[in-house]
Amino acid sequence: MAISWPLVVSLLLSISSLATSASNSDSVHEAFVQCLLDNSHPSHPISEAIFTPQSRSYATVLQSYVRNLRFNETYTPKPFLILTALYQSHIQAAIICAKKGNIQMKIRSGGHDYDGLSYVATVPFFVLDMFNLRSIDIDMETETVWVQSGAILGELSYRISELSKTHGFPAGVCPTVGVGGHFTGGGYGNMMRKYGLTVDNIVDAYFIDVNGRIHDRKSMGEDLFWAIRGGGAASFGVVLAYKIKLVRVPEIVTVFRVEKTLEDNATDIVDQWQHVASKLPKELFVRLVIDVVNSSTRTGGSTVRVSFISLFLGDSKTLVSIMNENLPLLGLSQSDCIETSWIRSVLFWTNITIDSPTDVLLNRTPSLSYLKRKSDYVKQPIPKTALEGIWEKMIELQPAQMIFNPYGGRMAEIASTATPFPHRAGNLWKIQYLANWNQGGAETAQRYIELTRKLHRYMTPFVSKNPREAFLNYRDIDLGVNHNDRGSYLEGRVYGIKYFKGNFNRLVHIKTKFDPTNFFRNEQSIPTLPH
C-alpha cells in the first residue's frame, strides 16, 4: 500500500501538537502547585492537602465523595489536582492561584451532585474539596448553629440531638448529603411545610469572594447574602460556613409508611392525596414514592406501587384523626404509626432500622449506584384518567420512578423573591424522577437515562409551563449547558429561568457585580451580563 506523505506529516504535526499541549499543561500545573505553596500560611502548610494523580491516595480521595457511579468510570475526566482544604487560608490560596493561571476550579462539599458538576469537567480543572472543613458549633442559648460546608446532614442532625430533644433543622432526609451544596441550592426536607427550606432558616455565613477576602453577612451585603441562599453559591464564591436557626420539634413525633398497589385502589388514593396534601396542617408531610413491582394478579406481571411516607410533628392519635378526615381512602390506623423522637424519625426516613444507634448518622459513606434524576412542579391536580395513563407508562419504562413531595403550608407563605428559590405559592407538589442501576458503561447509562427522559417527556401536559420549572439541587444537564464564552448569558438563561424564574436576572446582576470576570463558573452557573 502506498504511503500518503501528507497524511504522515499531518499525523506527525498532530502528535507534536499534542505533546506540546501536554507539556504546556504540565508547566501550568507545576506553576499552580508552586503558587499554592508560595501562598500557603507558614503555620498552615498546604502541601499535605494537595493530591495529584502521582499521589498514592489520589484515587481514594477523588472517589470518596463520588456518589453517582456514572462519574467514576475510567473514561470520566479527572482533575489534575485535588485540594482537600484544611484551613480557610487554603481556600484563599486556591482562588488566588486559580485566578492567576485562569484555571477551572470545581467546589465539592458532599458529592451528592446528580450530574457531577462539582467534580467533572471537559476542560483541565482541579477540585477544591471541603470535606475536612466540617465543624459544627451549636449555641443552645440563641438556638443557632455555625456549620461548615464540609459537614454532612447526618452529622448536623446528630449533634443537635446530643444537646436537645426538642430542636431540629428542616434539612434533607438523606444524611450523607453535604451541607455546602444542599444549603446553597435551597435544600428541603420533611419539615418544609412547617418551617420552609434550609435557606429560609440561614441567618449568616462566612464567605470567601473572588479576591480571596472573607466576609460575613454584614460585610458581604444583603444582595450577595440573598444570592448564596438558593442561587448556588459556587457561582459567586466559596461558602466556608453557614449560621442557621434551629427549629422546635415535639419530644414525640409520628411516622408511617403505608404501601398500596393498583389492586389496592392506589389510583383513587393518589387522586384524593393530590387534592388535600398541600392543604393539610403544616405539621404533616406525606410523601409519595411511586415505582413498579411484580404483581401476581395483573396481566403482564407488573403493577404500580405507591408508598405513602409521612412525618407528623405530633402524636399518633392526632395523626390518625387528621388522615381519616382528609385522606380516608388510605385507611390509616394506629397500628401503621410509630411514635418516636425526631432524631429517630431521621433514621426511619433513611430506611435505617429505627432503633439503631443514632450515631449511625455520622457514617459518611452511602450505598452507591449509577443514577439519573430530573424534576418538575405540579400546579393543578392530574385528572384520574391521566393517572391511569401515567401508571401504564411507568410499567413500560420501569425501573424509572417518581417521588411526589407536597407543598403548601409555610412554602406557600414565603414570597417567591425572598430567596433565589422561586417555587413557592401555587405549587401543589414537586416531582423527582429517578432511575438507579448497578452496571457500568456508557451504553447502559444511556439506556437508563433515556427511560427517565421519556417519563419526563410523558409528564409534560401535567406540569408547570412557560417556563417548565426545575429544582436547582436536582442538577439536570439536559436543561442546558453553559460553555462560558461569548454566548454565556443566553446559554445561562435557558436553564436559569427554569431553576430561578423571575429571580434569574437579579442573580445575573449580582454575579456581574461581584465576579465580573466569571471566575466562579461551571456548566450550569449564573452567567455575567454580556459586555
Report the candidate in 282, 306, 318 with the shortest Cα–Cα distance to residue 190.
Answer: 282
Strands of 214-215's sheet in order across: 136-139, 144-148, 238-245, 202-208, 214-215
How far apart CA 132 and CA 361 sit, in angstroms, is 17
Give the residue from 328, 326, 363, 4 showing the smallest Cα distance to 152: 363
For 208, the grid coordinates are 470567601
DSSP character at residue 127: E
Burial class of residue 54 (count of CB atoms within 10 Å of its CB; 0-12, 13-18, 19+): exposed
Residue 467: cis peptide before it, omega within 30 degrees of 0: yes
Question: Which grid coordinates are listed for 180?
Answer: 455546602
- Bin 319: left if φ > 0, else alpha if -120 < ψ < 50, else beta: alpha
Q: Has 474 been annotated as catalytic?
A: yes
Distance of alpha carbon 325 from the chain centroid: 35
- Tell me 369's DSSP state: B
**Residue 180 exposure: Cα atoms within 13 Å on the Cβ side:** 31
Neighbours of 200 (CB within 10 A): 21
Q: At 215, phi and psi to the nearest 5?
A: -130, 155
CB atoms closer than 10 angstroms to residue 176: 21
Q: Could you count the other beta carbons within 10 Å of the beta carbon of residue 470? A: 24
217, with CB counted inside 10 A (0-12, 13-18, 19+), is middle
Catalytic residue, candidates 370, 377, 474, 499? 474
Contact criterion met (CB below 8 Å) for 415 and 230: no
Which three cell numbers, joined as nine digits, stand for 530? 454580556
Cell representation of residue 444: 447502559
Cell numbers at residue 460, please? Answer: 409534560
Known catalytic residues are 474
